[in-house]
Amino acid sequence: MEKNIRVDYIARVEGQGELTIKVVDGTPETVQFGIFEPPKFFEAFLVGRDFREIHELTSRICGICPVPHQIAALRAVEKAVGIEVDEYTRQLRRLMNFGSHLQSHVLNLYLLAAPDYLGYESAISLARDNPELLKKGLKLKKLGNDIIEVVGGRAVHPVSAVVGGFTHTPSRAKLEDLKDRLREARRDSEETVRLFSELDLPDFERNEEQIALTRGGEYPINEGTLKSTGGLEAGEDEYRRYIKEVQVDYSWAKHSIVEGRGSFMVGPLPRVNLNYRVLSDGAREAAEAAGFKPVVHRPFEALLARAIEVLNAVEQSILIIEDLPKGKAVREDAFKPRSGFGCAVVEAPRGLLYHAYKVNDKGLVEEADIVTPTAMNARNIEEDLKGYLPTIADLREEEMILRCEMLVRAYDPCISCSVHVHRA
């Protein structure tokens, strides 16, 4: 028997993606996660732009995770022109990115993914029967946005992060206010972990390679060493040596593979698996209580890992505010051009994000290279679907479609991000 599944426009994910699947007698023959989001050619038009504006421009690759794009661009450019930032800037950038993870994770969990498991077509319909649940999500999401706003001046596309630091130092009063709200948010975050540990997540398992940053005793978010469940260990400068890209003809997004091996997963599940020891205390306890035992290879449990990271982001943010050293503001034009090359890998909510730039002595970009987490995950999503489909081949077609979409949504793909990739 032959089943053809076609989703023209996958709902409740960011951006424009489609699924084309053909299953014959329970065996998947074609599985294509296509991306028809129009390419914006960032790597092309960054050429000739000034090193002090690259983070501002690349922010516009994605409105859900502008913060990690800014931080990756800033760090790569700073390496290229030889700037080292102080501890104050480093910590403020971490705080801003934890805020970014918080708002993005909550958006996925409450607004995009939860309705599937609770039997609704959207959070808006869910809100009719259970307004409290949505309200809880919206409150957490607002907190994440407010962190970004206090640190970066604006929640979507922050403005005060610049090459070398911030043009503005958030006042102690505002930080204290955030800290109080973060403390209060612990409870809602714990409940989030509980909620997702109680959902009936499919236990489909596949032993894929998972990659995340690691960094000694710190939960890595803006910098670290690449590490994988398959034995990979490499500095960020070596990213291009180990990760290759291939172009496919049905999608604007290139696919990433580990050289000599194959597809891999990035995101909350790899991060929690590889950094379990350095989760905040509350997050680790909640993970234990939820029965999360690393290393987990069940892709649907990325949802649980994401919920654990909500609590982790809340607690890490409290710690950063408590220990924040003193620092001062810098101007957007404080640093002078110098030629060089620099690359950086950061953790975006959806996984690793790579930026690299070659800058000339006038400070203008000569080459740009960006690989986003959804581009890295694209091939792995297809491999997961191939493994998962035989287990659901007996279901009615609509149910099968829904299940495939749920697997895709567990990755929280951010499709706008995924179509700007340079080179092979």
Is the Cβ of residue 39 or residue 63 nearer to ligand SF4 in the bound state? Answer: 63
Q: Which does 262 bind (CB under 5 to 8 A by kind): other proteins, ligand SF4, none?
A: none
Q: Are strands 264-265 and 209-214 parallel, antiparallel or unpaired?
A: parallel
Q: Which of residues 8-27 bind other proteins (CB under 8 A)?
A: 9, 11-16
Element (H, E) at 118: helix 114-118
Q: Taking each helix axis from N to C terminus, what angle separates 172-198 and 302-323, rounded to the nearest 10 degrees? A: 160
Name the one range near other proteins by CB under 8 A: 82-90, 204-212, 234-242, 327-335: 327-335
d(CA 255, CA 251): 9
Reported residue count of the chain is: 424
- Interface pick for other proteins out of 22, 139, 338, 358 (rule CB under 8 A): 139
- State which residue, 153 or 327, has the beta carbon closest to ligand SF4: 153
Kindly report the number of other CB atoms within 10 A of residue 97's CB atom: 28
Q: Which of residues 162-181 bind other proteins (CB under 8 A)?
A: 162, 167-168
Q: Which is nearer to other proteins, 167 or 339 (CB)?
A: 167
The one-letter amino acid code at 32 reads Q
- What does 2-14 look like in DSSP terms, one character per residue? EEEEEESS-SSSB
What DSSP letter does each residue of 339-394 carry, written as one string? -EEEEEEEEETTEEEEEEEEE-TTSBEEEEEEE-HHHHHHHHHHHHHHHHHHHHTT
CB atoms within 10 A of CB 422: 17
Exactly one of 6, 40, 60, 277 binds ligand SF4 (CB under 6 A); that residue is: 60
The answer to whether 142 contacts other proteins (rule: CB under 8 A) is yes
Tell whether residue 93 is a contact of other proteins (CB under 8 A).
no
Binding residue for other proteins, selected from 61, 182, 212, 257, defined by CB under 8 A: 61
Residue 391 lies near other proteins (rule: CB under 8 A): no
- Name which of 154 and 241 has its Cβ closer to other proteins: 154
Decide: is 327 part of the binding site for ligand SF4 (CB under 6 A).
Answer: no
Smallest separation (angstroms) from other proteins to the CB of 217: 32
Q: d(Cα 189, Cα 311) in Å, to the nearest integer? A: 5
Distances (CA, A) of 281 to 9, 55, 115, 367, 411: 40, 33, 29, 42, 25
Nearer to ligand SF4, 160 or 312 (CB): 160
CB closer to other proteins, 162 vs 279? 162
Looking only at residues 150 through 169 of this chain, which bind ligand SF4 when binding is defined by CB under 6 A? 159
Out of other proteins, ligand SF4, none, what residue 347 binds, judged by CB under 5 to 8 A for its kind, is none
Half-sphere exposure of 276 (CA within 13 A, CB side): 16
Min separation Cβ 342 and other proteins, Å: 20
Token reading at 265: 């997963």
Q: How far apart are CA 224 and CA 239, in angstroms?
A: 12
Cα dihedral 174, 180, 182, 187, rounded to 10, equals -160
Residue 38 contacts other proteins per CB under 8 A: yes
Applying CB under 8 A, among 74, 76, 96, 127 the residue interacting with other proteins is 127
Q: Is the separation of the CB atoms in 370 and 354 below 8 Å?
A: yes
53 binds ligand SF4 (CB under 6 A): no
56 contributes a contact to other proteins by CB under 8 A: yes
Q: Kindly state whether residue 63 participates in binding ligand SF4, applying the rule CB under 6 A.
A: yes
Contacts (CB under 8 A) with other proteins, residues 265-304: none
Considering only residues 3, 20, 30, 49, which one is a binding residue for other proteins as defined by CB under 8 A? 49
Could you list the residues that contact ligand SF4 (CB under 6 A)? 60, 63, 159
